[in-house]
Amino acid sequence: MVCKGFRKELLCLVFLLMTGNSWAAHPLITDDTGTQGKGKFQLELNGQYDWEKESINGVSTKTTGGQVATTLSYGIAENVDLVLSLPYQWGKTEENEVTAYNENGIGDMVFEAKWRFFEKEGFSLVLKPGISIPTGNDEKGLGTGKFGGHIFLIGSKELGPCAFHANLGYIRNENKADERKDIWHASMATTWEVIKNLKLVANIGIERNTDDEASNNPAFIIGGVIYSVTEYFDLDCGVKYGLTSSETDLSLMVGMALRF
């Protein structure tokens, strides 16, 4: 990320930590059209560690951080879920090995509805609107300080052991940090069940930069694995790599999902 001064570093860290709070099929960021089914729950616990390093005009900047997000989904109908997610975040920025920022705490809560409105011959579509609730401390760089919103159109297609997913989204990034408020998102993902209960996953995407002065938009690629220990319990891990300078260099991702 191209950042100048402490305030700008703090905003970069906000962006680094505030993305991807409540997506399905972790470690993917691109969501799928699956829902839990009426009266059923899913509890997810996902962790991520981020690493970023750059040197500009003789100043070496190293940013590390991460989050642990808890997400609870409940099926109010066969094709409609309610989703609530809350992250705990931490981050540290060093300039020439001197600490400029070091904070941790609860981030902004996200509440969403997921409605699958079309389904035919292995192809389905979902609308997923949501709001972000400013539970994080914006003065410490752990939240936006304002209510925000988003809406995503999600498409999935199943072809035997493979599935393909695409997301198009609009995010209203209300904030107190003078960031851009109108953000778009586009991404694609695929899963491949190579053997029973073991899936290889891949994901690529791009999102409009929240920084008006940035020269490019953050783009990423993810590779990972999902292992279904039982029908009701999944474990996963993955690596996310930044394809542009405005995206976090490297993220390590692990998670679990329990359905009941």
Determine the pLDDT at residue 8: 45
Give backbone dihedrals phi and psi of 4, rounded to 5 degrees, phi first. -130, 115
Residue 160's contacts (CB-CB under 8 Å, 6 or more residues apart) are none
**Mean pLDDT computed over 132-153:** 96
Which segments of 137-243 are extended strands (E)?
A: 148-159, 162-172, 182-195, 198-207, 219-230, 233-242
Is the pLDDT reported for residue 86 higher than 50?
yes
Determine the pLDDT at residue 5: 44
Tens-place pLDDT, residues 193-229: 999 999 999 999 999 999 988 889 999 999 999 999 9
Topology given in CATH for the domain delimited by 5-259: Lipocalin (2.40.128)
Determine the pLDDT at residue 22: 52
H or E segment and range at residue 13: helix 5-18
pLDDT band at 23 (very low <50, low <70, confident <90, very high): low
Tens-place pLDDT, residues 144-196: 999 999 999 999 999 999 999 999 999 999 999 999 999 999 999 999 999 99
Determine the pLDDT at residue 17: 43
Structure tokens at 121: 């011959």
Judge whether 46 and 258 are in contact, CB under 8 Å: no
Is the pLDDT reported for residue 9 higher than 80?
no
Cross-strand bridge partners of residue 21: none
pLDDT band at 6 (very low <50, low <70, confident <90, very high): very low
Determine the pLDDT at residue 76: 98
Determine the pLDDT at residue 209: 96
